Chains A and B, each alone.
Chain A
């Protein structure tokens, strides 16, 4: 009998390099999933193309907004990346249900790694969507009128906002534990939230009650910052009354910092205690 008194395989690397490696391994798992699950690709590639084409070609005439395509694109970007962030919620709930979280939690990996991997996955999905949408938008006449920095800044606020929102969704996913509930709730909350905003219609055209909601809606601030950075604003529109819309870029950066500062630690803490039923 060969008694094995020590584990035959020892761990290598410093704690810091292990953290990076864990984060990468968890990210890679989600990248493989993006490649292999057709629904994700549909959502990432086809849906954005469809949205850009439908809104710019079907609604443009009826909208009565001058240069609607340039107005529209920031709205579609924002809506798409916000929905892209809900993958993290549904995926965490699904992983919990499948029991794979239990496997991870019995391994000596960093407790943040699974979440880092998951939110990175969303970031990749959203980056691909952004590129597809920008390409399609360009074909139908969307143009950035600022500078390269404005362009990069616009892409950055959209992606960073959605990245931090992924952490919010991840926490929700771990708390609700049901991918179906997460998907339905996202739909029920995020659809109105993105529509009662300046994403697809100018705010000043909305009826009074909706106008107030839309002005304070964080989605509006996100859309407005992207519009400003891309140079897609319309000087003829009346000045907004909400502070958040008057200072959209600061609002969005603050929002990103607050979301990360609250939801990264909360999500990691939650992860350390969850286990499948």
Chain B
């Protein structure tokens, strides 16, 4: 059964440099109990999509339903069954971790006793004891993230939205959060998460929607997406960078697309991996080009992204991280 359904969502923002089409006809459908990743670079429209689905903003056009509830016309009913954690941890700095979670429980109308009990459970489950009794101010980004995420789980929601849950976290916190998210998913919660990290989408989700320019440009399991861009890739590493031009020509002859060159490494996607590798090696041998390394590999999601959008996703993500670190 489809539990999240969006059709033809558009949202245009005005900006100084003209209108920005944050959503440009986004369609999305998520079956109950599955995890869908919205994968896209910075500015792709991920946050805007999540904001529409979590009732924070109204789309200009299109419809969105969660569990059969129209989120545009009946936001309050939608809010009763969702948990959401936005791109930036939204916790009250002056409250303790416990007070933050208890407040969320009260505002879900769980009643005073249940809200307190639930807050304590989450503190224990998320190992937030340290932040339980002290104001959140002064705790690390990872800790705030966990409190925020715990806030999204207070009612054990039927549908959970996480917008870039691990962006800006150090690798250790990221792994810890992955662990938590994987556990949730085992409980049968439907999860829509956004990420700039191909690895994260691959690791956490059943299904990936690649989003760019406010639209879904490709969709499927990570294997399906990889298959979409053809089979293998042939990669050779040269001893001498001066040979790169010649090697590039040879790879172009046997490849399925334009080879890419990065210093001494040249690579191209091919239809039939082993066969192409043989031809490439024999031609390189004839041209007397010395090899440091050669082989073939399965495409990664990064390749998918490059192929679909013409730009790499990881570059943007790591640039983003660098900026976040600087800001801190």
Residues of A within 8 A of B (CB): 1-13, 18, 21-22, 25, 28-29, 32-33, 36-37, 98-109, 113, 273, 275-276
| Segment 143-173 of B: residues with Cβ below 8 Å from A | 148, 151, 154-158
Interface residues in B, total, Cβ within 8 A = 46
**Alpha-carbon separation in the docked complex, A5 to B33 (Å):** 9
CB distance from B168 to the nearest CB of A (A): 13
5 closest residue pairs by CB, A with B: A11-B109, A3-B188, A99-B90, A8-B156, A103-B90
Contact of B262 with A by CB under 8 A: no
A4:B156 contact, CB within 8 angstroms: yes
Chosen A-B contacts, 13 in total, with CB atoms closer than 8 Å, are: A4-B189, A7-B156, A7-B158, A8-B156, A9-B114, A12-B114, A18-B109, A22-B107, A25-B106, A32-B99, A103-B148, A107-B108, A109-B109
Q: Considering only CB atoms, which chain A residue lies closest to B56 in the complex?
A: A275
Greatest chain B CB density within 10 A among A9, A21, A22 is at A9
Distance in angstroms between the alpha carbons of A36 and B33 in the assembled complex? 42
CB-defined contacts of A21 to chain B, threshold 8 Å:
106, 109
Q: Are B93 and A25 in contact (CB under 8 A)?
A: no
Interface pick from B81-89, B193-201, B282-290, B318-326: B81-89
A33 and B56 alpha carbons, distance in the complex (Å): 26
Expressed in whole angstroms, the Cα–Cα distance for A104 and B148 within the complex equals 12
Chain B's closest residue to A101 (CB) is B90
Give every chain A residue within 8 A of B84 (Cβ-Cβ): 102-103, 106
How many whole Å from B247's CB to the nearest CB in chain A?
A: 47
Query: B residues within 8 A CB of A9?
Result: 105, 108, 110, 114, 118, 154-156
Cβ of B264 within 8 Å of any chain A Cβ, yes or no, is: no
Please report the C-alpha to C-alpha distance between residue A42 and residue B188 in the assembled complex, in whole angstroms.
50
**Min CB distance, A89 to chain B, in Å?**
18
Q: Which interface residue of A104, A107, A275 has the most chain B CB atoms within 10 A?
A: A107
A18 vs chain B, min Cβ distance (A): 5
Tell me the complex Cα distance, A1–B51, Å.
30
Q: How far is the CA of A101 from the CA of B88 in the complex (A)?
A: 12
Which B58-113 residues have C-beta < 8 A from chain A? 58, 76, 79-82, 84, 86, 88-95, 99, 103-111
Does B17 interact with chain A (Cβ within 8 Å)? Answer: no
Q: Report yes or no: A108 in contact with B158, Cβ–Cβ below 8 A.
A: no
Q: Choose among B93, B103, B107, B110 the residue that contacts A12 (Cβ–Cβ < 8 A).
A: B110
List A contacts of B76 (CB < 8 A). 108
B10 adjacent to chain A (CB < 8 Å) = no
How distant is B87 from chain A, measured CB to nearest CB, in Å? 8
How far is B51's CA from A28's CA once the two chains are assembled, in angstroms?
Answer: 27
User: Do A108 and B109 have beta carbons less than 8 Å apart?
Assistant: yes
Given A8-B155, A12-B109, A99-B90: A275 in contact with B103 (beta carbons within 8 A): no
